Structure 1
Amino acid sequence: MTAGFDQDSFKSIGKPIPRKEDERLLRGQGQFSDDFNLDGQVYAVMVRSFYPHAYIRDIDVSAASEMPGVLLVLTGIDCKEEGIGPISHNPVPSTRSDLKLTAPDGGKIFEGPHELLSVDKVRYVGEPIAMVIAETRMQATDAAEAVFVDYEPIPWVADSQDATSKDAPSVWDNVPDNICVDTTFGDEKTTDAAFDKADHIVRMQFNIGRVTGVPLEPRAALADFNPASGRYTLYAGSNGAVRHKHQIAATLGENPENLRILCFDVGGNFGTKNRVYSEFVLTLWAAKKLCRAVKYTATRAESFLSDYQGRDLKTSVELALSEDGQFLGYRASNLSNVGAWIVSLSPLGKGIALVTGGYAIPTATAQARAVFTNTVPTQAYRSSGRPEVCHSLERLIDTAAYEYGFDPIELRRKNLIRSSAMPYTNPLGITYDSGDYKKSMDIALELIDWSNFSDREMKACSRGKLLGRGFANYVESSIGAPGERTDITVRPEGIVEIVIGTQPTGQGQETSFAQVAADFMGIDVDLVKIIIGDTDVVKSGGGSHSGRSMRQAGTVIYLGCQDLVDKARRIAAIILEVDSEEVEMLNGSFIVPRLAKTIGWFEIAKASRSLDLPDDLANGLTVTRENEMDVAVFPNGCAACEVEVDPDTGVVTVERYVAVDDVGRVINPLIVDGQTHGSIATGLGQALFEQCVIDSDSGQPITGSLMDYTLPRAHDLPMFSTAFNEVFSPTNPLGIKSGGEGPTTSALAVVINAIVNALRVYGVQDIEMPATPFRVWTAIREAQKLNRENS
């Protein structure tokens, strides 16, 4: 399906054009959710649970209601009485490229209703119980503290493995054992046979901890209601205004056309803003009740308590090998902690589909389980589910290499899927579209100077430090919402307007989308204006998630431009009084070579306003194009890094880091490279610093601020060396896969591989993330103690 475009013919695509949006943002002219204010607005503050699990015996709002400035206090009982809620997240992946997850009995999965405000029971610390609206934010805050909630605390469970034990408290009566998903994929008989004949078997267990996105902009909502028109308006950051419009309208019980959502600049997402929150619906409902605008902005502390979180997977894995190192079979059992109710099963499903990564493993089985716990619900977080399975597989390969005497690089190279085998179907039935994994490995090894590592290792040793190196291959999957629409209009004033339904959250889409249109219309990038985020203008679109935006939006823009060119040729023919077959487009102009006549886009747009055109041309240079691509693409690549470990303090310093990525056709290498840097930083953060921690005695989160939840700083990161290995995807006309997530997928594994490599001198076999100085120091001391006992 990929068009045979000549890369050299492009003037914009493939060029490192600086982001058009940067000047506006650097001048402080961004339009983020909290920047908007309306006359007469009032303020909302949430009352949240103090307990991880408790019955609510009573909620008394009388004192709060009588406090100065208080206008309204909403509770879960109010929601029930007026039929508002619950929120339906449609959490089960359902595209034809997704594995089909089921309940343990093979039936429908119980999701757990997401009530806007809890009525009779709370299931995690931070769950919303009431909303207080007052004239000022301070008055609302004071009144929220006066809301009396009579709790009856009951036993709770936060750890996913503990939640499966027989004596664990049930989060939901409907699921007494807490296990809401249990599905096994693959051929068990064939896999068992592969393990029976194996010469080597290596087994490991991993706990990939819970993290949170910490976007720079906390979530915010400004809601208004017009009683004359019966229409709601909501300003709120998200990954797609159209998607949220329909979900919020359904929760309110309203016609979607009665709701307008405005979402312009979004100050970071990483998955935390992909789904609807209670506050979005409640502020709209309150605005209708009060006939005044209602504003809510989360504090940073609230974000740590209530933003949807990520990862939290426990996995047991086994790899069977022949005597010469050929991979024969693989087993994985993954246990996902979905929290108090299911917001998304995408991490579990997408991860389990790729447990064998980029290796030609003939057979595999994979068990996917999910459990409820008394924690914040989890959601897709950057690279949704793939870093967990990549970490498990790549750690297992390193361990196999060291245990059985293989070179870890050659063991990987021996078992990689060959480019000649593409498209390749893995043992779970997932078909990879394209890739040259060996070439990416070769590029990475050269960039990091792998062969001369021993010289650097000796220098580190002379300074009393340990130097370790790691490597990891990865395969990503990208599909997301399959449909996209664009409306393209050429304005006589010299601007091409493109309305599109994706939603940038920092990816530079105003620039990269414009590059696609500019090349296929033969005009300058600066003449293209991208319009997003207003659901009264943007009628359809899947938003930005799952690496879909450039592929889906780029494709529909390309197709729309083709339609527009055809339409312009026909109108130009009428203007120039020739047959349309004689009109050619060249460098943004329409020419008739025989007559040496030329007319440009904007001249046609202006002239078409006064022409008596046929019905199918009557609206001039405006086209609407829809497209659906319900097929996945598989970005891939690898990473290599070197870390220095101080054995006296346990401090880990990343000295070198290389990432090579196949994202298909690169539309803007400057933007994709920036996304690569951020993606690496996300992975390094989890590998070395980040983890959401819950106190084992009280169930209280103890990483509730940036004082406790450690994010990577600039000085924690080395200068990254990156490269692209562009293998165009055959699944779409532009050959795009996706960028910005793959480097996160490999980062966890490559960093931990490097740390363990450095610590093997002590006999350390593994280390749990995050590899903090204390954990590294403890691992060294425990290994030294064990060595002394065994000597």
Structure 2
Amino acid sequence: MRPVVADMILKIGSPKLRVRTGDVGGGFGMKIFVHPEYPMVVWASRELKRTVKWIPDRQEAFQSDIQGRDHVSIAEMAVDKDGKFVGERITTYAALGAYLNHFSVFIPTMAGSSMLNGLYSTPAIYVNVKGVMTNTVPTDAYRGAGRPEASYLMERFVDHIAREIGKTPDEIRAINFIKPAQIPYKTALGDTYDSGDFETVMRKGMEKADWKGFAARRAESAKRGKWRGIGMATYVEKCSGGSPETAKAVFNDNGTITIFTGNQTNGQGHETAIAQIASAQLGIDMETIRIVQGDSDVVPEGMTGGSRTIAVNGAATMGVAEKIIAKGKPLAANMLEASAADIDYTDGSFKIVGTDRSVSLFDVAKANKGALDDSFTRTPEADTFPNGCHICELEIDPDTGTLEILNYTVMDDFGRALNPLLLQGQIHGGVGQGVGQALSEKTVYDAASGQLLSGSFMDYALPRADIVPHVTFDMHNSLCKTNPLGVKGAGEAGAIGAPPSVVNAIVDAIHAHTGVKHVDMPVTAASLWAVIEANRGKKAA
């Protein structure tokens, strides 16, 4: 943010602008951008020589903030007699709003298009994205940033193909999944998947969701006049690549170490995970580690987004810890009057091999003030490709269009889970946002005048506790081969797998009774009731 505001817009130079941010809560893409008000506030403060605050109200935010996911797509697939995908063609019309924002064009193209390969070994794929200017606010990055759009299109399409050719949802996927023996696998759209066991993840998800017992549960619902459906969606996400990140470590006089990072936590728990990595690498208590973020005068440059903090900055933290240990060995050897070749490092201390003589890391740092301070910059060598399977089971009241999600299961591959509790929190939040997109959230403009109609939370339906399900979460991990921690990004995954699994379940519930093969998001009670009433009793083809 600082280079854009200070250098490009105000032309005062970055050293003259200090940016400080605290843990201000969820970012979800929108907080990456330099909104027009930011440089205006700085300019006004300099002109008036006083503090200037800008606090938008909710209606202003609805009228001006960027929003996400406004596509119309046409999908075509060539399939052979065995159900194997032969060739795919996708045409997408991506609404960009009335003017372009920072990443507007990037999101439906480079960010999302390559994910239209899914987890499948389709040999030929053609994607054509057409940007369309509209009378709305701009569209840009929102949790997943192009990947949820691609996953939704592919997984709805794959379910549709399965129904058309007489295959079950798991059967069509198993036929077309990239096999473990094919990995590393270069897709038709140019990405290389370095790890993964996609069918096993799906099968484990099905087992966790008791897929085999669904028929009995459906029959029980039918006795009560309800229509029950089950839907799955597998997904892959391209993330944790991009620009470098730096971790800077400084030893303090009070026996602690401070790690400065350019990433900014906004609810994810970065400070906990980074401290965990430093603790594990250095063999010291987490209580001795301080994490500093959000102050441009003292932290390195960084970018928070794209599920990249742990894969990139975590690897940088690992790197600086290794440099500290390497620098500390000759210093410890000097203090212990030994050869550096005889020094080993374990549990926070440098030790002479084969003896009980040692000196702690913090004692070495204190005796050699500033000598162990260092930094490490990690440049991602490749993206990571987290993947998984979401399974949604729900029940519909055909007389009212209301539905209830009864079971929601996620089986994910994140390479390695450094902090399973934080990871699970990310998935729960992402699923909540994905379910909201599938069932309730919609920005509405008057067709005749272009007037925004959903300008407050009285009209824009955020997901509530009564529609967000309990999530049964588990992992079947395959270590990532492209970063030293073996991790894959996780922050956006829940929002990617949720929308198609929910809509697949809805279509599964209503198809036999109505013949309907697709419904558009958001599937509200009113819209679903209208579809059911218009098609009730029609024979499923």
Shorter-chain TM-score tier: over 0.9
Q: Aligned ranges for residues 311-350 of structure 1 at < 5 Å?
A: 311-343=69-101, 344=103, 345-349=105-109, 350=111
Structure 2 residue 368 is matched with structure 1 residue 608: yes
Which residue is 1:769 aligned to? 521
Structure 2 residue 46 is matched with structure 1 residue 294: no
Which residue is 1:245 aligned to? 2
Which residue is 1:142 aligned to? none
Structure 2 residue 432 is matched with structure 1 residue 681: yes
Which residue is 2:502 aligned to? 751
Where 2:92 maps in the other structure, the secondary structure is strand
Q: Which amino acid aligns with 1:261?
A: V
Please state how far the C-alpha of 1:275 moved relative to its aligned partner.
Answer: 0.5
Please state how far the C-alpha of 1:346 moved relative to its aligned partner.
Answer: 3.0
Contact 1:547 1:740 in 2 (8 A): yes
Query: For residues 470-529 of structure 1, what are the alpha-carbon distances to aligned partners after superposition, in whole Å with 9 as ceiling and x for unaligned?
Result: 011101001453211111122231211100111111110010000100000001122211
Please state how far the C-alpha of 1:374 moved relative to its aligned partner.
Answer: 2.0
Please state how far the C-alpha of 1:595 moved relative to its aligned partner.
Answer: 4.7
Separation in 2 of the partners of 1:578 and 1:595?
11
Tell me which of 131, 140, 162 is aligned to 1:379: 140
Separation in 1 of the partners of 2:326 and 2:358?
16
Structure 2 residue 68 is matched with structure 1 residue 310: yes
Distance 1:288 1:747, change over 3 A: same
Which residue is 1:781 aligned to? 533
Separation in 2 of the partners of 1:419 and 1:787?
40
Greater Rg, structure 1 or structure 2? 1
Separation in 2 of the partners of 1:323 and 1:593?
66
Which residue is 1:557 aligned to? 317
Please state how far the C-alpha of 1:269 moved relative to its aligned partner.
Answer: 1.2
Where 1:303 maps in the other structure, the secondary structure is helix
Separation in 1 of the partners of 2:216 and 2:354?
69
Contact 2:120 2:177 in 1 (8 A): yes
Which residue is 1:642 aligned to? 393
Separation in 2 of the partners of 1:452 and 1:574?
68
Structure 2 residue 411 is matched with structure 1 residue 660: yes
The 10-residue stretch of structure 1 (590-599 or 679-688) with the greater mean CA deviation from structure 2:
590-599
Q: Aligned ranges for residues 518-537 of structure 1 at < 5 Å?
A: 518-537=279-298
Where 1:512 maps in the other structure, the secondary structure is helix
Which residue is 1:111 aligned to? none
Separation in 1 of the partners of 2:479 and 2:381?
18
Please state how far the C-alpha of 1:620 moved relative to its aligned partner.
Answer: 2.1
Which residue is 1:596 aligned to? 356
Please state how far the C-alpha of 1:605 moved relative to its aligned partner.
Answer: 1.8
Contact 1:468 1:642 in 2 (8 A): yes
Structure 2 residue 452 is matched with structure 1 residue 701: yes
Structure 2 residue 332 is matched with structure 1 residue 572: yes
Where 1:653 maps in the other structure, the secondary structure is strand
Separation in 2 of the partners of 1:756 and 1:521?
52
Query: For residues 707-762 of structure 1, what are the alpha-carbon distances to aligned partners after superposition, in whole Å with 9 as ceiling and x for unaligned?
Result: 11111112222221011121111111111111021221121111000001000122
Where 2:18 maps in the other structure, the secondary structure is strand
Structure 2 residue 157 is matched with structure 1 residue 396: yes
Normalised TM-score (structure 1): 0.66
Where 2:376 maps in the other structure, the secondary structure is strand
Where 2:144 maps in the other structure, the secondary structure is coil
Separation in 1 of the partners of 2:381 and 2:134?
33
Please state how far the C-alpha of 1:786 moved relative to its aligned partner.
Answer: 6.0
Contact 2:155 2:500 in 1 (8 A): yes
Q: Which amino acid aligns with 2:535?
A: A
Q: Which amino acid aligns with 2:124?
A: T
Separation in 1 of the partners of 2:434 and 2:377?
35
Which residue is 2:475 aligned to? 724
Query: For residues 320-353 of structure 1, what are the alpha-carbon distances to aligned partners after superposition, in whole Å with 9 as ceiling and x for unaligned?
Result: 1112211111110111111122221232122211
Contact 1:584 1:591 in 2 (8 A): yes
Distance 1:787 1:421, change over 3 A: closer
Q: Which amino acid aligns with 2:95?
A: N
Where 1:487 maps in the other structure, the secondary structure is strand
Separation in 2 of the partners of 1:355 and 1:586?
46
Q: Which amino acid aligns with 2:491?
A: G
Contact 1:493 1:602 in 2 (8 A): no
5+ long unaligned stretches in structure 2: none
Q: Aligned ranges for residues 407-418 of structure 1 at < 5 Å?
A: 407-418=168-179
Please state how far the C-alpha of 1:596 moved relative to its aligned partner.
Answer: 2.6
Q: Aligned ranges for residues 106-121 of structure 1 at < 5 Å?
A: none
Structure 2 residue 120 is matched with structure 1 residue 366: no
Query: For residues 204-231 of structure 1, what are the alpha-carbon distances to aligned partners after superposition, in whole Å with 9 as ceiling and x for unaligned?
Result: xxxxxxxxxxxxxxxxxxxxxxxxxxxx
Tell me which of 263, 272, 281 is aligned to 2:30: 272
Distance 1:426 1:399, change over 3 A: same
Please state how far the C-alpha of 1:787 moved relative to its aligned partner.
Answer: 6.5
Separation in 2 of the partners of 1:540 and 1:716?
40
Contact 1:486 1:560 in 2 (8 A): yes
5+ long unaligned stretches in structure 1: 1-243, 610-618
Which residue is 2:373 aligned to? 622
Where 1:716 maps in the other structure, the secondary structure is coil
Separation in 2 of the partners of 1:554 and 1:539?
14
Contact 2:241 2:384 in 1 (8 A): no
Separation in 2 of the partners of 1:703 and 1:526?
47
Please state how far the C-alpha of 1:632 moved relative to its aligned partner.
Answer: 1.2
Contact 1:468 1:758 in 2 (8 A): yes
Distance 1:786 1:456, change over 3 A: closer
Separation in 2 of the partners of 1:491 and 1:509?
21
Q: Which amino acid aligns with 2:73?
A: T
Please state how far the C-alpha of 1:413 moved relative to its aligned partner.
Answer: 0.8
Contact 1:661 1:743 in 2 (8 A): no
Q: Which has the higher strand share?
A: 1
Separation in 1 of the partners of 2:269 and 2:354?
42
Give the root-mean-square deviation of aligned CA atoms: 1.5
Separation in 2 of the partners of 1:554 and 1:454?
45
Normalised TM-score (structure 2): 0.97
